[in-house]
Amino acid sequence: MEQGNETKILEFLLLGFSEEPESQPFLFGLFLSTYLVTVFGNLLIILATITDSHLHTPMYFFLSNLSFIDICVSSTTVPKLLRNIHTQSKVITYGGCTTQMYFFLLLAALDDFLLAVMAYDRFVAICHPLHYLVTMTPQFCGLLILGSWIISVLHSFIEISLALRLSFCAPLDIPHFFCEYNQIVQLACSDTFFNDIVIYFATGLLAGGPLTGIIFSYSKIISSICIIPSALGKYKAFSTCASHLTVVLLFYSTCLGVYFGTFAMHDAHASAPASVMYAVFTPMLNPFIYSLRNKDIKGALKRFFSGKP
């Protein structure tokens, strides 16, 4: 494989983080513990919402879906990272890289849409409480989730189909700990103009659309809370969406911080440590955010472990 020559791709190299041997056990332990906490914490949220009849509401239905997506996001990137650290190998096959890109694009879009759906749920609950049960029916909630899946699958399929048409040149070093789509496109030798156009269009549509919906929903929510006469009423209304708002701020601040920070520094290597926040640590933090301040979740978990109905 000669450098600079177009070649048939068999594998990429994930450069990841530090190459110092003494840091590898620490990195392995850090990411392993993070992954286990992510899976265990989100599984508890799913079990609580399924087994407790008090949580059979639209809000917790969406929360259980978010927890499932968080488990999948971590499972898409972290196990391969752990394997590479353990075996001291940086190799990922072309097929493995393509699969990782496909599922990460799919799950990231799903995460984005689901946060917007959850914001809409809080909007209806606070701004139109008398119509909540009529509007947020199980059928409608199912359609919202199904629509999010369909759009996310189509988006991921289009992006990967375009990536499969690219030609690459050696060296094939990815300055990241997983196959991040933008990084792969930048490695291509062939023309990526159409790929870049689709990336910008998809980012504007799939990120800007849900974010606009979230901002609109919370602007209406804040307006409705402000006209509540009692301080206790305002606190109760805001507490129902405080956890979701925290997750939204965490998700978008880390995502925007990664891409705008990397663009400003013109350093592709800078995105790897920053991406850990939204790809690894955010899915781990979500169960804590929703459980620590949520009496319903804590009560459901107590009943689940105690065996009481």
Q: For residues 271 and 183, what is the distance between their CA atoms, to the nearest angstrom?
A: 10
Residues in a beta bridge with 128: none
The per-residue pLDDT for 267 is 54
Residues in a beta bridge with 91: 13
Q: Which long-range contacts (CB under 8 A, 24 or more apart) does 216-223 make?
A: 217/116, 217/119, 217/120, 217/122, 217/123, 218/119, 218/123, 218/245, 220/123, 220/127, 221/122, 221/123, 221/126, 221/127
| Ramachandran angles phi, psi of 271, nearest 5° | -75, -25
Output the average pLDDT for the chain.
85
For residue 282, count other CB atoms closer than 10 A to its CB: 22
The per-residue pLDDT for 6 is 47
Of these ranges, 81-85, 214-218, 241-245, the one predicted with the greatest mean pLDDT is 214-218
Reply yes or no on whether the pLDDT at 260 is more than 60.
no
pLDDT tens string 168-194: 877 788 888 899 888 888 888 888 888
Average pLDDT over residues 250-277: 64
Q: Which long-range contacts (CB under 8 A, 24 or more apart) does 166-170 make?
A: 166/190, 166/192, 166/195, 167/6, 168/6, 168/7, 168/9, 169/3, 169/4, 169/5, 169/6, 169/7, 170/1, 170/2, 170/3, 170/4, 170/5, 170/7
pLDDT tens string 209-223: 999 999 999 999 999
The per-residue pLDDT for 5 is 45
pLDDT tens string 283-302: 998 888 887 667 778 777 77
Average pLDDT over residues 83-111: 91
Domains in the chain, start-ordered, CATH in brackets? 6-306 (1.20.1070.10)
Q: Please, are residues 283 and 70 in contact by the beta-carbon 8 Å criterion?
A: yes
Among 49-53, 129-133, 158-162, the range scoring the smallest mean pLDDT is: 49-53
Half-sphere exposure of 263 (CA within 13 A, CB side): 7
Percent of the chain with pLDDT over 70: 89
What's the pTM value of the predicted model, to 2 decimals? 0.88
Give me the DSSP letters along 116-182. Answer: HHHHHHHHHHHH-GGGHHHHS-HHHHHHHHHHHHHHHHHHHHHHHHHHTT--EEB--EESSSS--HH
Q: For residues 304 and 47, what is the distance between their CA atoms, to the nearest angstrom?
A: 8
Reply yes or no on whether the pLDDT at 225 is more than 80.
yes
